[in-house]
């Protein structure tokens, strides 16, 4: 009983959520009303047969002057008109379903896509891309199927059962009571079994989603798999991961098969009992031939309806399980949200002030404590700053905090005296052009990837940005030039070509703050030298933060800031830091003189 209440509350919660996307409401109300005509159609046919039989009996028992056709003509007209009217109403529901359900799926898919897109970087690091993609598609599909099942199956079938029981009560109290008991027993067993099947289906659905995530991971890393001759090993691993899915699917199907056997036995017993009562009623004169035909028809429809409901209930609960699982993942409240009344960031100088910043990644924080503790740093508007340090010292993390990809545990980050936590995330990121180390392009044309930085840009602006980023040489060699599709994540291009496209995109954006995170790491020295000149031009009159392990690329910066384990240990110009003879000098010698003997 507790499981049923819990499952019912889930259904109500999900239906309430889905109903928020069911528009226009009037058409959905019309959909349910039109589909409700089906139970009346199921009763109408036995009733029409009853009238025909009673008419035939009357004609045979009483000599009348009219012909048989004349006697039956009103009944036939009633039958044709009634059937056609109910059929037209029911088919209207089909057309409404075709109109409404696809739009419902579109709204739900767009809602979850927007919601997932608002999540922090940590959310995406904890959830497989394939799993998320699968859930975003699963929920609208399952929601459409649930609406179809509720409107087209659950509601009409339950109504059909109630109408059938009411019709039987009108003929015989005993017959109506017996069938009501059978119907409740049938429904109770079906609900109990459906709950169990739904639980099995939910665990099966979770296993299938994990397999989908593994497949995506496999395809994304196919180059590494081939490079390490690991195809056979990975296929065996994938087979082992599929074993759990197979076991859970078998368990669901075997339980469903046993349930259908039980329902079949119950249905057979119902038929025997009802047939006995009908024949007894005719024998005692309580029922005439028309009544017998009508009751047989009603009972047949009612038993078929209850059987169909028993068959569909597990599917309904299965959809609820799929929806619940997807809803819990996709409706996860974003860790980083715009505050109520957040205003747009207005950048004039582009100064950045970091005050008493404290932050630690969850896993790292549990082991060694926060990465940043009471970190403070001021960057003047228009200043070109280079961030230096060993891997893991906090350079990229600081940039991610500036972009609000993470939320600090304490302290503030100000841009032109505006706390970035009080402004909208869109306006903050619109003021920053980022060239990341790991470049991922859209599976679109080169032109579409570049103009992504400034959708309203003219073609001349795009070409100028590409020229400045030293892209035109390799673009001219492509068969379709700017209209060449770059493949998934841009993998049809080399790493250096992807970096140059990303640089062109950032140049085109022309934001007041420019961040380069190892932006030239994949370039050869000659191309890097050419692009450095372009980047220096792009840095003019804008605040620039450059992260680079190749220290030669940072010599022209106004100031270098050296990090170690989340702390600033040195800062100054390239020449000043070399004279100081500290950590920066050690890093410089590592690169300029090779490995230093320990």
Instruction: Give the global pTM.
Output: 0.67
Q: What is the mean pLDDT of the chain?
A: 83
CB of 274 closer than 8 Å to CB of 287: no
- The continuous run of DSSP H or E covering 418 comes out as strand 418-419
288 and 436 part of one domain:
no
154 and 269 part of one domain:
yes
3-state SS, one letter per residue, for 188-205 = HHHHHHHHHHHHHHHHHH
Q: Is the pLDDT at 597 greater than 90, yes or no? A: no
Domain-embedded: residue 146: yes
Q: Which residues contact 61 (CB under 8 A, 6 or more apart)?
A: none
Tell me the pLDDT tens digit for each residue of 395-440: 889 999 999 988 898 999 999 999 999 999 999 999 999 888 778 8
115 and 256 part of one domain:
yes
Rounded distance, CA 421 to CA 412, Å?
A: 8
CB of 346 closer than 8 Å to CB of 418: yes
**Residue of 432, 466, 439, 449 whose CA lies nearest to 534:** 466
**Residue of 379, 389, 462 whose CA lies nearest to 414:** 379
pLDDT band at 148 (very low <50, low <70, confident <90, very high): confident
Query: Is 352 in a helix, a strand, or coil?
Result: strand
Q: What is the pLDDT of residue 271?
A: 81
**Residue of 423, 421, 443, 365 whose CA lies nearest to 397:** 365
- The continuous run of DSSP H or E covering 364 comes out as helix 362-368
Mean pLDDT to the nearest integer, 302-329? 78
CA separation, residue 201 to residues 8, 254, 315, 596 (Å): 17, 12, 9, 61
Q: What is the pLDDT of residue 251?
A: 85
**Helix ranges (DSSP H) in 221-288:** 222-227, 231-283
CA 201 vs. chain centroid, Å, equals 19
Domain-embedded: residue 551: no
pLDDT band at 596 (very low <50, low <70, confident <90, very high): very low
326 and 452 part of one domain:
no
* Residue recorded with tokens 């020295």: 525
Torsion angle of C-alpha atoms 175, 181, 187, 193, degrees rounded to 10: -130
Domain-embedded: residue 34: yes
Last-in-domain residue among 300, 315, 330:
330
pLDDT band at 515 (very low <50, low <70, confident <90, very high): very high
Q: What is the pLDDT of residue 336?
A: 84
**Residue of 184, 104, 111 whose CA lies nearest to 141:** 104
Please state the φ and ψ torsions of residue 118, each to the nearest 5 degrees: -85, 0
Domain-embedded: residue 468: yes
Last-in-domain residue among 510, 533, 552:
510
Query: Is 349 in a helix, a strand, or coil?
Result: coil
Rounded distance, CA 592 to CA 596, Å?
A: 11
Q: Which residues contact 531 (CB under 8 A, 6 or more apart)?
A: 469, 470, 500, 503, 520, 523
CATH code for the domain in which residue 466 is found = 3.40.50.300
Q: What is the pLDDT of residue 136?
A: 85
Q: What is the pLDDT of residue 24?
A: 92
Token couple for 70: 């004349």
Q: Is the pLDDT at 527 greater than 80, yes or no? A: no
Tell me the pLDDT tens digit for each residue of 266-299: 888 888 887 888 888 888 878 788 888 888 888 8
CATH code for the domain in which residue 111 is found = 1.20.1560.10
Mean pLDDT to the nearest integer, 460-470? 89
CB of 235 closer than 8 Å to CB of 242: no
Rounded distance, CA 324 to CA 199, Å?
A: 11
88 and 215 part of one domain:
yes
Domain-embedded: residue 348: no
Tell me the pLDDT tens digit for each residue of 89-136: 888 988 998 889 999 999 999 888 888 887 777 777 777 777 788 788
161 and 292 part of one domain:
yes
Q: What is the pLDDT of residue 598?
A: 38
Q: Could you tell me the end-to-end alpha-carbon distance of the chain, in angstroms, rounded to an integer? A: 71
CB of 419 closer than 8 Å to CB of 412: yes
320 and 440 part of one domain:
no
Partnered with residue 570 across adjacent β-strands are 562
Q: What is the pLDDT of residue 119?
A: 79
Report the DSSP pairing between strands 543-547 and 513-517: parallel
315 and 439 part of one domain:
no
Total Cβ atoms within 10 A of residue 224:
10
310 and 444 part of one domain:
no
Domain-embedded: residue 5: no
| Geometric angle at alpha carbon 317, from 263 and 210, rounded to 5° | 120
456 and 326 part of one domain:
no
Share of the chain above pLDDT 90, in %: 18
25 and 142 part of one domain:
yes
- The pairs formed by 564-573 with CB atoms below 8 angstroms and a separation of 24 or more are 564/389, 564/390, 564/393, 565/371, 565/393, 565/394, 566/370, 566/371, 566/372, 566/373, 566/375, 566/393, 566/394, 567/373, 567/375, 568/375, 568/377
The secondary structure of 544-576 as a DSSP string is EEEE-SSGGGGTT-SEEEEEETTEEEEEE-HHH
Domain of residue 500 covers 432-510
Q: What is the pLDDT of residue 377?
A: 94
Domain-embedded: residue 420: no
Domain count, the chain: 2
Last-in-domain residue among 330, 349, 378:
330
Rounded distance, CA 420 to CA 402, Å?
A: 8
89-126 burial code (b ≥16 CB/10 A, e <16): bbebbeebbeebbeebbebbbebbeeebeebbebbeee
Total Cβ atoms within 10 A of residue 473:
11
Domain-embedded: residue 76: yes
Q: Is the pLDDT at 368 greater than 60, yes or no? A: no
């Amino acid at each position: 009983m507790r499981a049923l209440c819990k499952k019912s509350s889930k259904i109500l919660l999900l239906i309430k959520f889905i109903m928020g996307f069911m528009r226009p409401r009037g058409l959905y109300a019309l959909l349910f009303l039109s589909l409700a005509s089906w139970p009346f159609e199921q009763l109408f046919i036995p009733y029409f047969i009853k009238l025909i039989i009673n008419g035939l009996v009357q004609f045979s028992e009483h000599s009348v002057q009219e012909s048989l056709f004349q006697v039956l003509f009103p009944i036939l007209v009633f039958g044709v008109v009634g059937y056609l009217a109910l059929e037209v109403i029911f088919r209207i529901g089909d057309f409404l379903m075709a109109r409404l359900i696809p739009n419902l799926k579109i709204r739900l898919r767009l809602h979850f896509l927007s919601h997932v897109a608002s999540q922090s970087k940590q959310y995406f690091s904890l959830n497989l891309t394939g799993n998320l993609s699968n859930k975003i598609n699963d929920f609208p599909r399952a929601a459409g199927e649930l609406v179809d099942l509720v409107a087209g199956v659950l509601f009409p079938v339950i109504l059909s059962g109630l109408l059938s029981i009411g019709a039987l009560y009108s003929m015989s109290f005993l017959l109506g009571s017996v069938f009501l008991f059978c119907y409740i027993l049938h429904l109770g067993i079906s609900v109990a079994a459906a709950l169990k099947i739904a639980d099995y289906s939910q665990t099966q659905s979770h296993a299938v989603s994990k397999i989908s995530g593994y497949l995506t991971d496999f395809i994304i890393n196919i180059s590494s798999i081939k490079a390490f001759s690991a195809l056979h090993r990975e296929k065996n691993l994938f087979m082992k991961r599929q074993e759990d899915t197979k076991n859970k699917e078998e368990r669901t199907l075997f339980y469903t098969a046993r349930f259908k056997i039980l329902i079949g036995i119950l249905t057979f017993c119902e038929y025997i009992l009802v047939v006995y009562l009908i024949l007894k009623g005719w024998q005692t004169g309580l029922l005439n031939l028309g009544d017998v035909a009508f009751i047989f028809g009603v009972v047949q429809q009612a038993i078929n309806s209850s059987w169909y409901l028993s068959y569909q209930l597990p599917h309904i609960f299965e959809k609820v399980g799929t929806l619940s699982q997807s809803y819990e993942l996709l409706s996860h409240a974003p860790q980083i949200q715009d505050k109520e009344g957040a205003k747009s960031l207005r950048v004039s100088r582009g100064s950045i002030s970091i005050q008493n910043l404290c932050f630690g990644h969850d896993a790292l924080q549990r082991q060694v404590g926060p990465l940043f503790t009471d970190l403070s740093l001021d960057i003047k508007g228009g200043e070109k700053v280079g961030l230096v340090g060993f891997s893991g010292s906090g350079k990229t993390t600081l940039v991610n905090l500036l972009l609000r990809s993470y939320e600090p545990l304490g302290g503030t980050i100000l841009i032109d005296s505006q706390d970035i936590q009080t402004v909208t995330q869109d306006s903050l990121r619109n003021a920053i052009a980022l060239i990341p180390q790991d470049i991922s392009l859209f599976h679109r044309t080169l032109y579409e990837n570049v103009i992504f930085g400034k959708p309203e840009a003219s073609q001349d602006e795009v070409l100028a940005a590409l020229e400045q980023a030293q892209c035109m040489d390799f673009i001219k060699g492509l068969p379709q030039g700017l209209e060449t599709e770059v493949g998934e994540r841009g993998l049809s291009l080399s790493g250096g070509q992807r970096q140059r496209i990303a640089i062109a995109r950032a140049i085109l954006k022309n934001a007041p703050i420019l961040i380069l995170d190892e932006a030239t790491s994949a370039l050869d020295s000659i191309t890097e030298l050419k692009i450095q000149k372009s980047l220096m031009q792009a840095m003019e009159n804008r605040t620039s933060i450059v992260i680079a392990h190749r220290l030669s690329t940072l010599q022209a910066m106004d100031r270098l800031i050296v990090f170690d384990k989340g702390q600033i240990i040195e800062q100054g110009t390239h020449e000043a830091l070399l004279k100081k003879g500290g950590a920066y000098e050690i890093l410089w010698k590592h690169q300029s003189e090779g490995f230093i003997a320990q």
